Amino acid sequence: MTKRGLHLPSICNLCNKSEESAHHLFLNYAFSSVIWNWLATTLNINCNTSNYLDLVSLCDRNWSPQCRIVILSAVIHCFYAISFCRNQKRFNDKVVNPRSTINIIISGASLSGNNTRLAANSSISDFVIHKHFEVIIKPPKAPIIKEVLWNPPIFNWVKCNTDGASLGNPGQSACGGLFRNSTSDFLGAFAINLGINSAFNSELIGAMVAIEIAHCMNWRNLWLETDSMLVFLSFKSSKIVPWHLRNRWDNFLHLLSSFNFNITHIYIEGNTCVDQLANIGLSLSSHFWFTQLPSQIGLDFFKNRLGLPNFRFC
């Protein structure tokens, strides 16, 4: 309005010296400096009080989620409290001292921090800030620990675990598979370098190769296990299968009609043997069929055979 020629009583009501502007009121005024210096001391950081964005960016540092909310709320309430003090002076002729203003900020930040569902971490800096703003610390939820076991197939069945590996999506990829019988004996394994492919394609091709090998070996009672949920769902609906693999997929389904077949999903922690086989495939020039147990998977193989569990944290 001043730029349009309207004369306003623009003197600052708090200092009665300077022209009132947002920059003067919130950043340059001595009262505002006291508030911002108090906040910087509380957070134990240096902050630039000459720029709004620098003040708001205080909450972008490496704080825990709950602490970030508390700091953001404190910054917002600093602006609110300064504006409140200005209005009290202008409209009610009341002077609010800095200690009362700080209490307003603490009250607002405490309300926000105590009502958030976000969690804090265990750092001392977060602890000090929460206590200063009277915020109850909310610890993160404890991880859920799941026991993952590899189970052998029933008598007269063969179990094959498959996996894929891809260095990028798409990228250099490979797949692998491991065949075992009801007594967890090694029957054979494969690793294939697939060239440039996607992660899903490598997982899916691994499953198809496993069934093609089982067909050649006349293993007609087959249990297939994969750590890819997409591969598992592909057996429920062929719509998931990429179009360039659809013809091979249809032929593969025709083979399955002569099988007693079951497919299950296992977490990757229980599929470590074939995960290593797929990684071996990345170093191959083509493909390889293992007639003896590869030394790289020996430890995990015998852990599976002995029924020793792996653990998944989620």
Residue-wise pLDDT tens digits, 210-230: 999 999 999 999 999 999 999
Q: How far apart are CA 195 and CA 286, in angstroms?
A: 9
pLDDT of residue 33: 85
Q: How far apart are CA 293 and CA 198, in angstroms?
A: 28
Side by side, the strands of the sheet bearing 260-265 are 260-265, 221-226, 158-168, 171-180, 186-197, 287-290
CB contact burial 200-239 (16+ within 10 A = b; e otherwise)? bbbbbbbbbbbbebbbeeebebbbbbbbbeebbebbeeee
The pair of structure tokens assigned to 98 is 């800095």
Residue 141 carries which DSSP code? P
- Ranges of CATH 3.30.420.10 domains, the chain: 147-313
pLDDT of residue 8: 59
Question: Where in 89-170 does DSSP place strands (E)?
Answer: 145-148, 158-168
pLDDT of residue 263: 95
pLDDT of residue 5: 63
Q: What is the pLDDT of residues 183-204, one digit of tens each?
A: 999 999 999 999 999 999 999 9
* Residues 221, 224, 226: CA angle, nearest 5 degrees: 175
Residue 39, phi-psi category: left (phi > 0), alpha (psi -120 to 50), beta (remainder): alpha
Tell me which fold the domain 147-313 belongs to.
Nucleotidyltransferase; domain 5 (3.30.420)
Residue 30 burial (CB count, 10 A):
8
| Ranges under pLDDT 70 in the chain | 1-10, 13-14
pLDDT of residue 54: 79
